[in-house]
């Protein structure tokens, strides 16, 4: 699948897959910034994308950044709709106890393109299942 990408900043990098079977392509910071402990900063990627109709771009944390630097998307998963044409921004939150620095060119998140369904929601009765309304840790208990 081809995705058109527009660079909005001279330091912008196109998303890049780290391996042949990676599901997410790395997103890069086009400007550096500092993120104080317990705070969130919007990190610019300097790119805009044109996703195919029926797909969504999902912005996920990079495991190394989250585990080693305490930096992860503040909204957990960012959603980029296929009709959005603005700059992709990553709201990085510093979960640690010290200020972290993001440098120009750092990998700050990963971008997964996935299909989605548009549903018609109708009010009505639900079918019965063995699980029923059990949630939040209810499965596997016998």
DSSP-based three-state secondary structure for 92: strand
Confidence of residue 34 (pLDDT cuts 50, 70, 90): very high
Domain that holds residue 69: 4-115
**Integer angstrom CA distances of residue 107 from 51, 82, 90, 125:** 21, 23, 11, 46
Q: How much is the mean pLDDT over the chain?
A: 95
| Mean pLDDT calculated for residue range 8-30 | 98
Residue 6 has pLDDT above 90, yes or no: yes
Residues 98 and 3: their CA atoms lie apart, in Å, by 37
Q: What is the CATH number of the domain that holds 34?
A: 2.70.40.10
> What pTM was computed for the model?
0.90
* 56 within domain boundaries: yes
In a domain, 31, yes or no: yes
39 within 8 A of 127, measured Cβ to Cβ: no
Please check whether residue 129 lies inside any domain of the structure: no
- pLDDT above 90 for 65: yes
pLDDT band at 134 (very low <50, low <70, confident <90, very high): confident
Domain presence at residue 20: yes
Give the DSSP letter string of 93-129. Answer: EE-SSS-EEE-TT-EEEEEEEEE--------------
Tell me how many domains the chain contains.
1
**pLDDT value at residue 133:** 86
């Amino acid at each position: 699948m081809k995705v058109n990408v527009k660079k909005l900043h001279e330091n912008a990098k196109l998303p890049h897959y780290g391996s042949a079977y990676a599901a997410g392509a790395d997103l890069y910071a086009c400007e550096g910034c500092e993120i104080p402990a317990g705070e969130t900063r919007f990190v610019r990627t300097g790119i805009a994308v044109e996703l195919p109709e029926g797909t969504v771009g999902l912005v996920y944390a990079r495991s190394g950044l989250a585990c080693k630097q305490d930096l992860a998307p503040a909204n957990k998963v960012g959603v980029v709709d296929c009709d959005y044409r603005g700059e992709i921004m990553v709201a990085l939150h510093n979960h640690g106890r010290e200020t972290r620095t993001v440098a120009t060119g750092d990998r700050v998140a990963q971008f997964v393109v996935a299909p989605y369904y548009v549903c018609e929601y109708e009010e009505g009765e639900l079918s019965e299942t063995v699980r029923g309304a059990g949630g939040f840790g209810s499965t596997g208990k016998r």
